[in-house]
């Protein structure tokens, strides 16, 4: 069994389609998504529509809650108009679809547990470590968070930081972000492929090129207060200093 794991596409259809094409080329039996499907300055509605038309099961990321929180950035002059634009681009029906996504879900007959941040909280990042010293410092904390769950593979997103490591008998996989890289300092789209069966699973982390110049120009064309910063992040793989 081979499973494509995607997360944090943030409404970027160009990056998402490049990842889907690469997963198709690699050959996977199914694809799952760890949330943050839509919020971002490229093509929110198109990203939601693609995930839905392919029947990719998703969990609900913290930004997937934004459409239902119209006043979230009411006092932020840069983000308030972005949220207004985002909610208009999505429309009510897609917003409702996002709101109805589960915080966590099981797949592969219970072998795979997926969520966005932590199992009960899509903003928590206790499991989001990638540097080996940080992994070792937090092993006990991670094991405690996951002690109620029997899945052999645990996958999540949220920090846009690809990582793959083991805690006890569990394999923890953050595929990184399809769009809006934060820590990779490389604009390529990230995803993971999980392979195995029964209790034996392994994951590989992948990066694929896509037309980030087109995505950046789309972000700029929106003329929103964060358009320039978003375009910079899309082009460079990290936010402006």
Cα gap 240→46, rounded to integer Å: 26
Q: Who contacts 21 (Cβ-Cβ below 8 Å, separation ≥6)?
A: none
Tell me if 162 sits within 8 A of 130, measured CB to CB. Answer: yes
Name the segment binding Fe ion (CB under 5 A); options: 2-10, 86-94, 181-189, 213-221.
2-10
Q: Which is nearer to Fe ion, 8 or 89 (CB)?
A: 8
Tell me if 158 sits within 8 A of 182, measured CB to CB. Answer: no
Tell me if 141 sits within 8 A of 99, measured CB to CB. Answer: no
- Shortest Å distance, C-beta 238 to Fe ion: 14
- Shortest Å distance, C-beta 150 to Fe ion: 27
Name the segment binding Fe ion (CB under 5 A); options: 5-13, 67-75, 143-151, 221-229.
5-13
- Shortest Å distance, C-beta 116 to Fe ion: 8
For Fe ion, which residue of 36, 104, 129, 233 counts as binding (CB under 5 A)? Answer: 36
- Shortest Å distance, C-beta 104 to Fe ion: 16
For Fe ion, which residue of 3, 4, 5, 8 counts as binding (CB under 5 A)? Answer: 8
Q: Which is nearer to Fe ion, 2 or 236 (CB)?
A: 236
**Residues contacting Fe ion: total by CB under 5 A:** 2
Structural tokens at position 226: 């964060």
Structural tokens at position 227: 């358009």
Quote the DSSP letter at residue 111: T
- CA 124 to chain CA centroid, Å, is 14
- The residues of the shown chain that bind Fe ion, judged by CB under 5 A, are 8, 36
């Amino acid at each position: 069994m081979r499973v494509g794991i995607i997360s944090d596409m943030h409404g970027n259809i160009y990056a998402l389609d490049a990842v889907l094409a690469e997963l198709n080329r690699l050959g996977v039996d199914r694809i799952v998504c760890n949330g943050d499907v839509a919020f971002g300055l490229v093509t929110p509605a198109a990203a939601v529509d693609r995930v839905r038309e392919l029947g990719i099961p998703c969990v609900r990321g913290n930004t997937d809650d934004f459409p239902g929180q119209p006043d979230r950035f009411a006092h932020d002059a840069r983000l308030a108009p972005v949220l207004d634009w985002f909610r208009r681009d999505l429309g009510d029906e897609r917003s409702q679809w996002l709101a109805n996504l589960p915080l966590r879900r099981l797949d592969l007959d219970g072998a795979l547990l997926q969520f966005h941040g932590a199992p009960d909280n899509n903003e928590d990042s206790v499991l989001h470590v990638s540097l080996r010293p940080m992994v070792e410092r937090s092993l006990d904390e991670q094991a405690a968070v996951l002690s109620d769950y029997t899945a052999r593979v645990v996958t999540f997103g949220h920090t846009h930081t690809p990582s793959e490591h083991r805690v006890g008998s569990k394999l923890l996989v953050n595929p990184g972000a399809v769009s809006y890289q934060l820590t990779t300092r490389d604009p390529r789209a990230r995803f993971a492929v999980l392979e195995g069966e029964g209790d034996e699973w392994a994951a590989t982390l992948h990066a694929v090129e896509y037309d980030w110049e087109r995505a950046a120009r789309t972000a700029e064309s929106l003329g929103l207060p964060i358009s320039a910063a978003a375009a910079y992040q899309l082009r460079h793989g990290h936010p402006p200093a």
